[in-house]
Amino acid sequence: MVAKTEPIPVVLLDSGTAAVVASTIRSAIPPALDGSECVNRSQEEVQVLSRAVASATSGRFPEALDRLALTLIGSPHSVVLRGLDVSGCGPATLAVTAARLGAPFVEPDPAHGAISLLRPRTDRSMAGQVLNELLHTDSTDRVVPNRLSCLLCVVPDVGGQGVSRVMSITAARAVALGSLGVSGVERLGRPHPWRSGSSPTGVTWAPVFNHRRGSIRWMRNTIVQASDDRLVKLSAGLEHELKVFERALEASGAWSEVLLGPGDVLVLDNRRCLHSRSPISRAVSSDRVLLRTKRR
């Protein structure tokens, strides 16, 4: 068992600033039906809105976001922005928040847009396992994954389930060392095949741990998919090693936890930490709603 990592830092927005952010956004756009639809805004519209919010808050909102970006540099490379009032304006508030943190990431499907609606009942599963319940990085099926993932909680699970988990790359490396040894960590630093719709060959090659860049890429399923689709042949040894690493990560308990409340935005450095959520027993009926945007 690896020691638990440090708590996820919180950047708290004062109530006066939060109220001005919300009123500025609500007066500029028609209210969105949070939880029932996801409204994507054009980049131009988001930029105009961001400037209006910056001006109305006398720079306090962008300052809070700059503080957040600085905090993200340190372990566990994730931060919660707390205090936003997002009722009726969730998608636009997330768009304005994320706009300060990076450029939008292009999803494979243009219809996907910049903001996605996440509900437990539509989470992807493989072999009976909900993929979001396993520690992973986002967009492992892209040649270059996104740099930041921003998750806004609109409605939490009523039973208090679906706790967000974050594991820093340092803790993940320690788990790899403990479960696979020095040679295993070295092997995870070699290129692995990832099933990729954005690669002309259907596969992109990249290490799990990029030791030179200090980055991590992880979702075992994406490597297995490359083999299942007969694009590569995985050796039995590699398949076994990946399973051992996955089990060791999930058994380690070496993650930080946060139960997101309404208006909380969890910002993750997708190159330097893994994330997942705890299981939700009644996923089909859970009213949990998150909005997500990915940034380059």
Name the segment binding Fe ion (CB under 5 A); options: 79-87, 117-125, 132-140, 185-193: 132-140
Identity of the residue, 21 or 273, whose beta carbon is nearer to Fe ion in the bound complex: 273
| Closest CA relative to residue 154, chosen from 275, 50, 33, 43 | 33
Name the segment binding Fe ion (CB under 5 A); options: 5-13, 24-32, 87-95, 133-141: 133-141
CA 67, 93, 100, 115 dihedral sign is positive
Q: Residue with structure tokens 């970006």?
A: 69
Binding status of residue 107 toward Fe ion by CB under 5 A: no
- β-strand pairing of 10-12 with 115-118: unpaired
- Inter-residue contact 78 to 266 (CB < 8 Å): yes
Packed helices 43-56 and 15-28: angle between N→C axes, nearest 10 degrees = 140
| Closest CA relative to residue 72, chosen from 90, 94, 52, 98 | 98
Identity of the residue, 24 or 168, whose beta carbon is nearer to Fe ion in the bound complex: 168
At 67, give phi and psi (nearest 5°).
-60, -40
Name the segment binding Fe ion (CB under 5 A); options: 96-104, 107-115, 137-145, 238-246: 137-145
Out of 34, 107, 138, 246, point to the residue binding Fe ion (CB under 5 A): 138
Identity of the residue, 21 or 274, whose beta carbon is nearer to Fe ion in the bound complex: 274
Angle among Cα 74, 185, 249 to the nearest 5 degrees reads: 65
The two tokens of residue 103 are 């450029």
Name the segment binding Fe ion (CB under 5 A); options: 44-52, 138-146, 178-186, 217-225: 138-146
Identity of the residue, 138 or 246, whose beta carbon is nearer to Fe ion in the bound complex: 138
| Residue list 225-284, contact with Fe ion (CB under 5 A) | none
Identity of the residue, 140 or 286, whose beta carbon is nearer to Fe ion in the bound complex: 140
Residue 102 CB, nearest approach to Fe ion (Å): 16
Residues near Fe ion, by CB under 5 A: 138
